[in-house]
Chain A
Amino acid sequence: MLPHLAVFLISAAALAYEILLMRLLGIIQWHHFASMIISLALLGFGASGTFTALAQKRLLDHFHFSFAAAAVLFSITAPASFAAAQQIPFNPLEILWDSNQFLYLVAVYLILSLPFFFAATCISIRFMHSRQSIHRVYLFDLLGAGFGALGIILLLFLLDPSECLSLICPPGLFAAAMVCLDRKTSRSVKAALILFLAGILIAVLTPFGRTGLRISEYKGLYAALRVPGAEVIRESSSPLGWITVVKSPVIPFRHVPGMSLNCTVEPPEQLGIFIDADSFTPVTRYRGNPGEAAYLDCVSSALPFHLLDRPSVLILGAGGGADVLLALYHQASSIDAVELDPEVVRLVREDFGEFAGHIYASDRVTLHIGEGRGFVAGTHRSYDLIHVSLLDSFHASAAGGFAMSESYLYTVEAFQRCIKRLRPGGFLSITRWLKIPPRDSLKLFATALAALERSGTDRPGLRLALVRSWKTCTLLVKNGEFTPREIEIMRSFCESRSFDTDYFPGITQEEVNRFNVTDEPVIHKGAMALLGPDRLEFMDRYKFNIQPASDDRPYFFHFFKWRVLPEVLSLKGRGGLPLMEWTYPILVMTLVQALAASLILIILPLFFLHSAGGRTSGEVRIGFYFLFLGLAFLFMEIAFIQKFILFLSHPLYAISVVLSSFLVFAGLGSSASGRWSGFLCRRGGWASRSAVGVAVGVIAVLSIAYLALLPSVFEKTMAMSDWAKVPLSMAFIAPLAFFMGMPFPLGLSRVADSAPHFIPWAWGINGCASVLSAVLAALLAIHLGFAMVVGFAVVLYAMAALVFWKPLG
């Protein structure tokens, strides 16, 4: 039992470390680089397979020592690798200018892969040592991972990410101690005692042992703190983000994005809230007189307030409260403000309540802590205005997810829901940063158009308007057609602020591109083309991807098109690089690197295994079996995490609940697979060979049924409380995950029976496949959608079942 517990602990610590690393790298660098670095570092799992395959005899002869040593090395390298990686002067922003950055990047990968290498080595050794009960080893491996994922997220509520780092050590040391105890010699018991004590000591000292974070000097927080007199006045942390409040009394923050050049007012005093050292939201001093917020009337997002009289407003992404101030200034009759991060709310409401004039406690304001899309789906209220201003997506990577920035707020379905919640004559108003050449504005327009059409609107063009300041653009979608009076108000709003009208019903060429002139009125022309018959052709010819995002492909921020890459690279000398969003190419780069490294890690051990006389006729099939499984498991897991994010409407809770449930129930499935295969084996013949086939059959039926049924189930249960939605989600995941936990131990048990020296190789392949799978799933989802990712998973499982059908030679 003790070695099983040791596997549990190591596995828990390794997954916790992975999630923690995502948080830490997201703070010191940027999220998309964080996920690339971690993906590559996770190849440490693959490398451990190679290593244990080569050294298996020696490792097995000294099982207890090898396991304990690897566990201790994991404990040491987990914090040490991060500390060392921080010393490497890797600057992702310079990567396209400076080839040395690639060397630094590889060094970061290698250093951070060490802890994963040692953790996976422990598990691999244990598989080899415990050939008769592989399903139990896998049970504890998965249970550990499930608890690790949940544990670290709970811990991140209590401690700073840098404090959590040292807490990764004790489980590793305890694991080593347990394996030492299992050996039962007096020396090993003494060693166990020392390891236990060391683990406890580190745990006790944790609150005092904070690792210093070297935050990139190109992040907003660093720049803010270089200003004379600027200081951090509050710091707090949760799994949603690391929050820093900065006061800058000498040279104040004056955050009014895209303020009209005709306005001469200086904004009131502001405090800066930085999330993960970058994302910025101001808290503005407010003494209770709405007139103080007059400066906010100088931005493009103020437009809808001029079209409505004392509207009831829903604000999605309330942050530091600027939009609530704007609504108060315009005497909104009621304001529902939704903010995802309770810590930001607490700061505005309590810590700086007086400074912010207790705006969230105003009679007319009701604050809701939650995610925008979920709130809209769950509410029965209707509004005159739904207001979304400069709100970017929550990075799933903040909680250890995958950082392609999925967003369920800027999809066709989300727009449809928002429009449904508008009173007749009401507006959905969305403001985004203006990019040159235009991207967001046209994609918003295309998305709104698709939403109106899907809702059965006859002439959607009569319900849309698009205006821009020199820095922001605002899209209005009306529940009804624009009236001539509204168009007149819009004209004069823009005229007095020198804002441009890019589209409104009946706009003429003379009314565009007047104040903030671009070479070509691309937004206007684009909007007209999108409304015309050649919409598809226009979207195809446009050099950025402006196809509307959907719930199945929730990638609003994906503007990249392959065919533009050569052109952009050729324009490097002429300032052409910023023409592209780099998240997608980084994802592809990750895949290419992971593929190359995986191939080496998978093929290399074969030569050694052969020369050691360990040839087996079934090795190719072993390889493919574990490759298919590794890919399929994560495809399924990632796709369903996304589906449940929409349902649980809180990315962090969804990831915690879904990930942990998947791992724990798959663990239970693994445990049951032992009895299951025993039962089938006793029947012999085809029955013994169909073990995987049956499990895969159930997986296929369940997953396809879920794809068909979940949307309507979600629709009906969306308004239920979280306390009901969480167990409901778990009930859906349990059977699917249970059967997904079976194929791996069934396959590995068969390898253990007929070609035991291939166990570590199979384990390594599984590790490599998991890395490839995470990146591939994101790429497939971008192009084909998450439903297809599930489809691919089913096919891969089926192929694995076919491979399993034939006995190993």
Chain B
Amino acid sequence: MNRKGLLQSGAFLVWVFVLAVAAPAQQEDAYRGLRAGLIEEIRADVKLTSERIGRARLTDRVLQAMLKVPRHEFVPDRLRPYAYENRPLPIGFGQTISQPYIVAVMTDLMDASEDATVLEVGTGSGYQAAVLAECVKQVYSIEIIEELGREAAERLERLGYRNVEVRTGDGYYGWKEKAPFDAIMVTAAASHIPPPLIEQLKPGGRMIIPIGSAFMTQHLMLVEKDPGSKIKTRQLLPVAFVPLTGGH
């Protein structure tokens, strides 16, 4: 069995133990241990992919956030055993909670400072918003599906995230009253990037858009607005994969 396999089966056994006998405090400790294992895995993966995503390691702030946010609170109860596996999980309504590796890379690519204000379009479970909330000053998040938006808002409130505001509705026009934003993340699929979102991005700001379908993030698109408000985009493959073999 490889390292990851051991980690996963180990994680499962720990979870069984947690559920069966441990007291709440111990439960939290056990989850923290699982999280630490996952973060180590992500750290190693990022190292291998550094060339592609243009950075050798993720910032400590992002790693600390990933270490702190209890992913198990954001997945349906029946899927809690798998919460700390590096894989996407279904959360109902045809939505998924992204692979933690992708969440970490996307958050890092935003390059948002601690004082930043960030807009997220597509709240989903609220996990990404929570990770962002650990890293920046204020997060605004819009969800199109009412039930999801409501649940995510309640969950974030319960977990003590005071710097996240969730609202349900149309993400196309962004959140004009709170604009401009230092960074924007658009996790809801769209055939094109809504012009109002680009408008609400501060000069020097970044927008991240994962492209793909449920369970499959094909690549990431990074939109950069330079200080002169000129737009440039980059297609990033979050994977160390070169389409050509051999030298050319």
Is A97's beta carbon under 8 Å from chain B?
A: yes
Contact A438 B243, beta carbon cutoff 8 Å: yes
The residues of B that contact A264 with a CB separation of less than 8 Å are 195, 199
Contact flags A208-235 to B (C-beta < 8 A → 1, else 0) = 0000000001110011001110000000
Q: Which of A241-265 contact B (CB under 8 A)?
A: 250-251, 254-259, 261-265
Q: Which residue of B lies closest to A89 (CB)?
A: B90
Beta-carbon contacts under 8 Å, B140-191 to A: 144-146, 168-170, 172, 189-191
- Chain A 258-280 against B: per-residue CB contact (8 Å), 1 yes, 0 no? 11011111100000000000000
Stretch with Cβ within 8 A of A (4 or more), from B16-24, B130-138, B209-217: B209-217
**Which residues does chain B contribute within 8 Å of A219, judged by CB atoms?**
94
**Number of residues on chain B facing chain A (CB within 8 A):** 62
Q: Which of A479-528 contact B (CB under 8 A)?
A: 498, 515-520, 522, 525
Q: Chain A contacts of B146 at CB under 8 A? A: 228
- State whether A266 and B195 are in contact (beta carbons under 8 Å apart), knowing that A518-B235, A543-B245 are contacts in the complex: yes
- A729 interface residue, CB < 8 Å from B? no
Q: Which residues of B contact A94 (CB under 8 A)?
A: 90, 215
Contacts of B211 in A (CB 8 A): 436, 471
The verdict on B99 contacting chain A, using a C-beta distance below 8 Å, is: yes
Chain A at the B interface: mostly helix, strand, loop or mixed? Answer: loop
Contact of A574 among B172, B219, B234, B240 (CB under 8 A): B240
A579 within 8 A of B: yes
Residues of A within 8 A of B41 (CB): 573
Residue B37 is within 8 A (CB to CB) of chain A in the complex:
no
In contact, B93 and A226 (Cβ under 8 angstroms): yes
B231 at the interface (CB under 8 A from A): yes
Indicate if the CB atoms of B238 and A575 lie closer than 8 Å: yes
Which single member of A222, A471, A543, A577 contacts B243 (CB below 8 Å)?
A: A543
The contact of B217 among A259, A515, A578, by CB within 8 Å, is: A578
Within 8 A of A (CB), among B207-231: 211-219, 221, 223, 231
Question: How close is B140's CB to chain A, nearest CB, in angstroms?
Answer: 18
Interface residues of A in 390-438 (CB under 8 A from B): 435-438
Check B221–A470 contact: CB distance below 8 A: yes
Contact segment of B45-53, B56-64, B66-74, B107-115? B45-53
Most chain-A Cβ atoms within 10 A of its Cβ — which of B192, B216, B217?
A: B192
Give residues of chain A (106-131) contacting chain B, Cβ–Cβ below 8 Å.
Answer: none
The reply on B193 being an interface residue by CB < 8 A is yes
Q: Which of A515, A520, A573 contacts B4 (CB 8 A)?
A: A573
Contacts of A538 in B (CB 8 A): 244
B26 within 8 A of A: no
Chain B contacts of A536 at CB under 8 A?
none
In the assembled complex, the CB of B216 is this many whole angstroms from the nearest CB of chain A, namely 4
B86 near A573 with CB under 8 A, answer yes
Cβ B214 vs Cβ A218 within 8 A: yes
Query: For residue B238, which residues in chain A have a CB less than 8 angstroms away from its CB?
Result: 574-575
Q: Are B218 and A251 in contact (CB under 8 A)?
A: no
B84 within 8 A of A: no
B51 contacts which chain A residues (CB < 8 A)?
519
Choose from B215, B216, B244 the contact partner of A541 (Cβ within 8 Å).
B244
Most buried by B among A91, A516, A578: A578
Q: Is A93 in contact with chain B by the CB < 8 A criterion?
A: yes
Chain A residues closer than 8 Å to B191, beta-carbon distance: 254-259, 471
- Contact at A575–B101, with CB atoms within 8 Å? yes
- Contact, CB under 8 Å: B219 / A250: no
**Residues of B with C-beta under 8 A to A571:** 239-241
Q: Cβ of B245: which chain A residues have Cβ within 8 Å of it?
A: 541-543
Judge whether B239 and A574 touch: CB under 8 Å: yes
- Is the pair A578, B216 in contact by a Cβ cutoff of 8 Å? yes
Q: Are A517 and B145 in contact, with the CB atoms below 8 A?
A: no
- Determine the distance from Cα of A541 to Cα of B242 in the docked complex, in whole angstroms: 11
Residue B55, interface by CB 8 Å: no
Q: Mark A70-98, 1 if CB is under 8 A from B, else 0.
A: 00000000000000000000010110011
What's the nearest-Cβ distance from chain A to residue B127, in Å? 16
Chain A residues closer than 8 Å to B232, beta-carbon distance: 498, 515, 517
Q: Report the minimal beta-carbon distance from A730 to chain B, rounded to whole angstroms.
A: 42
| A576 contacts B by Cβ under 8 Å | yes
CB A494 to nearest CB in B, in angstroms, measures: 14
- Residues in A with CB closer than 8 Å to B90 are 91, 94
Q: Which residues of B contact A577 (CB under 8 A)?
A: 216
Collect the chain B residues with CB atoms within 8 Å of residue A515's CB.
Answer: 232-233
Q: How far is the CB of B34 from the nearest CB of chain A, in Å?
A: 15
Which residues of B line the A interface, CB within 8 A?
4, 41, 45, 48-49, 51-52, 82, 86-88, 90, 92-94, 99, 101-102, 144-146, 168-170, 172, 189-195, 198-199, 211-219, 221, 223, 231-246, 248
* Residues of A that sit less than 8 Å from B by CB: 91, 93-94, 97-98, 217-219, 222-223, 226-228, 250-251, 254-259, 261-266, 435-438, 470-471, 498, 515-520, 522, 525, 529, 538, 541-544, 567-568, 571, 573-579
* New contact pairs (19) apart from A574-B239, A575-B238, CB-CB < 8 Å: A218-B214, A228-B144, A254-B172, A257-B191, A261-B198, A261-B233, A436-B219, A436-B235, A470-B235, A517-B232, A522-B243, A541-B248, A542-B244, A543-B243, A573-B4, A573-B86, A575-B101, A576-B239, A579-B241
